[in-house]
Amino acid sequence: MKGYIFKRLLYLIPTLIGASILIFFLYSLVPGNFVDSDMNLTLERKAELYALYGFDQPVIKRYFIWIGNLLQGDLGYSLQFQRPVDEVLGNYIWSSFIVALASLILTWLIAILIGVVSAIRQYSVFDTFVTILVFAAMATPSFFLGLMIIKFFAVDLGWFPAGGIITTGSNYTGWAYYKDVAQHLVLPVLVLTMLGIGGLARYFRTNMLEVIKQDFVRTARAKGLKERVVVFKHALRNALLPAITLFGFELPALFSGAIITEQIFNWPGVGAVFMQAFTVRDYPLLMGFTMFIALLTVFSNLIADLLYGVADPRVRLR
Amino acid sequence: MKLKRHLKVMATLILMMILAACNNVNSTEGETSEKTDLDEKVTLVEDAIIKAESPDASPQLALNREDTVIVGLQEPGGIFTPYFNTSGYDGNVQSVMFPPLVEVNEAGESIPGLAESWDISEDELTYTYHLREGLLFDDGTPLTAEDVEFTLTLLHDPSYPGGTDITEAKVVGGLDYKNGEAEDISGIQIIDEKTIEITTEEVNARALRLLGGQILSKGYYGKGYEKGDLDYLSDLHLKPVGAGPFRFVAYLPGQEIRFEANEHFYDGKPEVAQFIYKTLEGDSQQFFQTGELDYSALAANQDNFEFLQEIGFADTNIYTSSAYGYMSFNHEKELFKDPKVRQAFILGLDRQTIIDAYYQGYAQVANIPVSPTSWAYTEDIGSTTYDPEQAKKLLEEAGWLAGSDGIREKEGEKLVVYYFTSAGGLGDVLIPIAKENYKELGIDLQVEQMDFNALLARVENGDHDLASFSTTMLTDPYNGVSNFHSKSQSATFKGYGSDKIDGLIDATIATNDIEERKLAFNNLYKALEEDPPVILMSYTKVLSGTNARVEGFEPNGYRGISSSLKNLKIVNPSES
């Protein structure tokens, strides 16, 4: 097992180098850069700024400078914020994380429940109704869903704030603060959950359907176990196994922010910042963040693979 | 200053693009209604201030906020030191704390700011600013001529990384400081604590405001200053000390920027105790409607106007922007060397229909490169007419003759023109109409839509024939024409210009007398009509709503709301 982990860790190195090459050179192909976007600069001033930011160096050389800094843990300096990239990301990433985590937990819990119930009651009224509902939610574009929810719950009913993370100008501390944030959290989490549930619920339903038709489930029933125990203990556990891989993919999503939903709910998350960085071509921020997500993706894949081995003895390596 | 405004316009464009993207759902419906709009006569909306009909309808959320005023703003970059920011929104934040020596009023004229008056010498080369009595920074330290000197010196520093080009003012000794060994700038003389005299090498009507900008405290920003090293300043970008109506309190990234009333402000402490810029990523309407914002600028169109009327508690303000929109020619292309061709492209485009269809009366067709808000504006020059027959005649004269397939040809080359524009916005309406218009003239218009940054990069490369742009807010009419100068470094106008035009442009800043300048601009605008550098498109309106519980917002096309913040007042809506 240890040897396996070590080998897998070694494989990460070429993967990450490949990712860094792709990220750097793809971004360098994008037309326009931070300095050019100011139409009013004179050519002289532009040249000065080019030199200042290092844009005048050849691409290859810039790549090695970038990767060299990266290895020392330096993500670079955001042009737009004039602060180190990790500091900028640190300002925004946690608020993205809270929303993503809350909606992740909700999505999985509800999706598992729906998946199980619609599998054991296949083709029932509940199954059909829920299928239509989750597909409808999944098929609605996030901005539309978001705006409808704002219109209904924030503007018309006034139950929840229309956006932001705290009440503007408030000075709450302690519990009042957490309560305030939680109130602002409801609508964006609702939207993200509605968007995410459909696919997952269908996934669990299919897995569950497959599992409950298998022999060991029949055996469990035959030996007189209660239906609840059969479904939730024997069948569900097996149906959940493939989901571990899926769960691995969710890890980077926890940090990557939801660009559109954040924008609509004015949530100070990293998705919105990323979008803004792109419009002004703040390359250090863009590259640093993309690289960070790439790193998370690679690691979460590794973790998923290892966990899979823990959960399912059949694929365990010795 | 220019940089800030430019980015502000750019960001507005981006915002509009995002909004346009959000509207796509309705696009099929939209198209049909636009068609019917085309048939109706759209009348231009006048600048107006409309009082709220039912101020009592103001949401409880807003009424509960007794001493705080909240305004929406796009996320700033967090560089709150004037002259150092790259984002225009940082400029908005700065203007709350940093009033300039010389302010601009709603007609684009200079009025006193921190300086209570100024003198310009006979030869118009020396500017003497007289600061107000007893000026203090918001940390309580005095603001004196020394701070003015420090600010101007800083801008001349060889390592200054920002976008303000102070050398344009040509201060005597300025270049010696920037590029040479000089220890100070010989043209700047402190007469006494509140008087400073600055000598320049060349008459430039813009120098008064360029030199009379926002002031940085020498005691605060100048601590540890050594020529050639400004890196230490980056630690102060998030801790600004200014002399404005409000003092900086805190910046919560992605959420808000808080200010409190400054008791040291020269015009007295503002009545409102707290002012907040709430940062917004997208639409602001819902926040205004639920009362979270007290002031909100909206895209100027009939729908948004009706929205403000419907909610009842909004004081509505419609004013004209000082910017103008245009479509630039690629002057390096052989095709556009002939002014007749350019004139034909202008006459052959039905600008009125395009502007009316898109802005629904909240914009007018531009006739000269300056907005009607400016003192330099005149209706007598330039035309806004659509005359395809005349356009065809001009093309014939230029040697472009009808080809077999309806597309004109000259020496075997087809008249195919590539037009670049940013996605969304005006382009959605302009493209189909322009294609139709130009097809009638025998021009094949090919369109490419892209994001704004890519547009700039490709225009710089010279890939385009035509490209759409808008200017930034133009505090001086000269800014609207400076790029037409052959010495201008702007990539958009490469290849344009002649000695005659250059001379006329220079003449517009060669005097400080406003009447003489008007005349100079008139002469220039006439010459530009003969030899057009761009297709002038539009002067747009700005629409804003204020919650009736707040009084004092007086937005204008030059400074936005910043110069009126000191007058903010919270009133009980039921009494007003």
- What value does the mean pLDDT take over residues B466-485? 85
Cβ contact, residue pair B457, A33, below 8 Å: yes
Tell me the DSSP string of A78-134. Answer: -TTT-SBHHHHHHHHHHHHHHHHHHHHHHHHHHHHHHHHHHHHTTTSHHHHHHHHHH
- Residues of chain A with Cβ-Cβ distance to B18 below 8 Å are 263
Cβ contact, residue pair A169, B456, below 8 Å: no
- B80: nearest CA partner in chain A: A81
Residue-wise pLDDT tens digits, A68-112: 888 887 878 887 777 788 888 888 888 888 888 898 899 888 888
- Residues of chain A with Cβ-Cβ distance to B451 below 8 Å are 279
Q: Give strand pairing partners of B146.
A: none
CATH number, domain B29-42+322-540, options 3.10.105.10, 1.20.120.1200, 3.40.50.2000, 2.40.50.140: 3.10.105.10
**Within 10 Å of residue B104's Cβ, how many Cβ atoms?**
21
Answer yes or no: is pLDDT of B129 > 90: yes
- Which of B7, B86, B492 to substitute to test the interface with A, most A CBs within 10 Å? B86
- Residues of chain A with Cβ-Cβ distance to B255 below 8 Å are 164-166, 168, 268
Q: Nearest CA to CA, how far is A89 from chain B (Å)?
A: 11
Q: What pLDDT, on the 0 to 100 scale, is given for residue A86?
A: 84
Q: What is the mean pLDDT of chain B?
A: 83
Could you tell me if A92 lies within 8 Å of chain B, comparing CB atoms?
A: yes
Q: The complex's ipTM?
A: 0.72
Q: What pLDDT, on the 0 to 100 scale, is given for residue B34?
A: 42
Could you tell me if A96 lies within 8 Å of chain B, comparing CB atoms?
A: no
Domain ranges of chain B: 29-42+322-540, 48-76+240-321+542-575, 98-236
pLDDT band at B148 (very low <50, low <70, confident <90, very high): very high
Answer yes or no: is pLDDT of B77 > 80: no
Provide the token pair at A10.
């070694």
- For the CA atoms of chain A, what is the radius of gyration? 24
Residue-wise pLDDT tens digits, B262-291: 999 988 888 888 999 988 876 788 888 888
Could you tell me if A84 lies within 8 Å of chain B, comparing CB atoms?
A: no
Taken as a whole, chain A contains a residue count of 318
Q: Give strand pairing partners of B295.
A: B71, B546
CA distances from A290 to A74, A94, A178, A235, B259 (A): 14, 16, 30, 39, 35
Q: Which residue has the tokens 């550098």?
A: B533
Indicate the pairing of strand B295-298 with strand B550-551.
unpaired
pLDDT band at A54 (very low <50, low <70, confident <90, very high): confident
Q: What pLDDT, on the 0 to 100 scale, is given for residue B559?
A: 80
Could you tell me if A79 lies within 8 Å of chain B, comparing CB atoms?
A: yes
CATH number at residue A111: 1.10.3720.10
Element housing B447 (H / E): strand B444-450
pLDDT band at B67 (very low <50, low <70, confident <90, very high): confident
- For the CA atoms of chain B, what is the radius of gyration? 25
Tell me the DSSP string of B470-499. Answer: E----SSGGGGTGGGSTT---GGGTT---H
Cβ atoms of A195 and A139 closer than 8 Å? no
Q: What pLDDT, on the 0 to 100 scale, is given for residue B246?
A: 92
Asked if residue A54 is part of any domain, the answer here is no
CA distances from A82 to A172, B237, B254 (A): 30, 9, 16
Q: Nearest CA to CA, how far is B471 from chain A (Å)?
A: 9
In whole angstroms, give the CA distance from residue A270 to residue A99: 11
Q: What pLDDT, on the 0 to 100 scale, is given for residue B101?
A: 92
CA distances from B235 to A228, B80, B81, B231, B268 (A): 62, 11, 10, 8, 30
Q: What pLDDT, on the 0 to 100 scale, is given for residue B23?
A: 41
Predicted TM-score (pTM) of the model is 0.78
- What value does the mean pLDDT take over residues B490-505? 84
Cβ contact, residue pair A169, B286, below 8 Å: no
The partner residue sitting opposite A39, judged by closest CB among B234, B237, B492, is: B492
- B77: nearest CA partner in chain A: A81
CATH number, domain B48-76+240-321+542-575, options 3.40.50.300, 3.40.640.10, 3.10.450.50, 3.40.190.10: 3.40.190.10
Instruction: Indicate the DSSP class of residue B171.
Output: B
Rounded to 5°, the CA angle B474-B480-B486 comes to 145
Q: Nearest CA to CA, how far is B362 from chain A (Å)?
A: 26
Helix pair angle (B2-22, B452-461), 10° resolution:
120
Q: What pLDDT, on the 0 to 100 scale, is given for residue A65?
A: 83
Percentage of chain A beyond pLDDT 90 is 0
**Could you tell me which residues come within 8 angstroms of residue B367 by beta carbon, excluding any fewer than 6 positions away?**
B379, B381, B382, B383, B384, B536
- A95: nearest CA partner in chain B: B254
Answer yes or no: is pLDDT of B562 > 90: no
Q: What pLDDT, on the 0 to 100 scale, is given for residue A1?
A: 67
Q: Rounded to the nearest 5°, which phi and psi values hold at B131?
A: -75, 155
Asked if residue A306 is part of any domain, the answer here is no
Q: Nearest CA to CA, how far is A145 from chain B (Å)?
A: 11
3-state SS record for B80-121: CCCCCCCCHHHHHHHHHHCCECEEECCCCCEEECCEEEEEEC
pLDDT band at A37 (very low <50, low <70, confident <90, very high): low
In whole angstroms, give the CA distance from residue B352 to residue B430: 11
Closest CA to A171 of B89, B279, B270, B65: B65
Residue-wise pLDDT tens digits, B434-454: 998 988 888 888 888 888 778
Cβ contact, residue pair A279, B453, below 8 Å: yes
Q: What pLDDT, on the 0 to 100 scale, is given for residue B25?
A: 38
Tell me the DSSP string of B546-565. Answer: EETTEE----BTTTBTGGGG
Q: What pLDDT, on the 0 to 100 scale, is given for residue A171?
A: 76
Asked if residue A304 is part of any domain, the answer here is no
Q: What pLDDT, on the 0 to 100 scale, is given for residue B1?
A: 41
Check the CA dihedral B259-B261-B265-B267 and report its sign: positive
Q: Which residue has the tokens 């125990």?
A: A229
Range of the domain at A112: 86-280
Residue-wise pLDDT tens digits, A180-207: 888 888 888 988 888 888 888 888 888 8
pLDDT band at B41 (very low <50, low <70, confident <90, very high): low
Cβ atoms of A288 and A85 closer than 8 Å? yes
Domain count for chain A: 1
Residue-wise pLDDT tens digits, B394-419: 888 888 888 778 888 888 888 888 99
Answer yes or no: is pLDDT of B4 > 60: no
Cβ contact, residue pair B163, A267, below 8 Å: no
- Residues of chain B with Cβ-Cβ distance to A29 below 8 Å are none
Q: What pLDDT, on the 0 to 100 scale, is given for residue B573?
A: 56
Closest CA to B422 of A25, A279, A38: A279
In whole angstroms, give the CA distance from residue B465 to residue B478: 25
Cβ contact, residue pair A37, B78, below 8 Å: no
Asked if residue A209 is part of any domain, the answer here is yes
Cβ contact, residue pair B456, A39, below 8 Å: yes
Provide the token pair at A108.
């999985």
In whole angstroms, give the CA distance from residue A73 to residue B162: 28
SS3 of residue B40 by DSSP: coil
Residue-wise pLDDT tens digits, B9-36: 444 544 444 444 444 333 333 334 444 4
Could you tell me if A266 lies within 8 Å of chain B, comparing CB atoms?
A: yes
SS3 of residue B460 by DSSP: helix
CA distances from B88 to A80, B156, B296 (A): 11, 22, 17
Q: What pLDDT, on the 0 to 100 scale, is given for residue B195?
A: 92
Closest CA to B127 of B199, B213, B202, B209: B199
**In CATH, what number does B98-236 get?**
3.90.76.10
- Residues of chain B with Cβ-Cβ distance to A282 below 8 Å are none
- What value does the mean pLDDT take over residues B298-309? 87
- What value does the mean pLDDT take over residues A137-158? 84
Residue-wise pLDDT tens digits, B203-260: 888 889 889 999 999 999 988 888 888 888 888 888 999 998 999 998 888 788 999 9
Indicate the pairing of strand B188-192 with strand B195-199.
antiparallel
Asked if residue A233 is part of any domain, the answer here is yes
Q: What is the mean pLDDT of chain A?
A: 82
Residue-wise pLDDT tens digits, B318-362: 888 888 999 988 888 888 888 888 998 899 899 999 988 888 888
Percentage of chain B beyond pLDDT 90 is 14
Residue-wise pLDDT tens digits, A240-290: 777 877 877 788 888 877 778 888 888 888 888 888 888 778 888 888 888
Residue-wise pLDDT tens digits, A211-225: 888 888 788 888 877
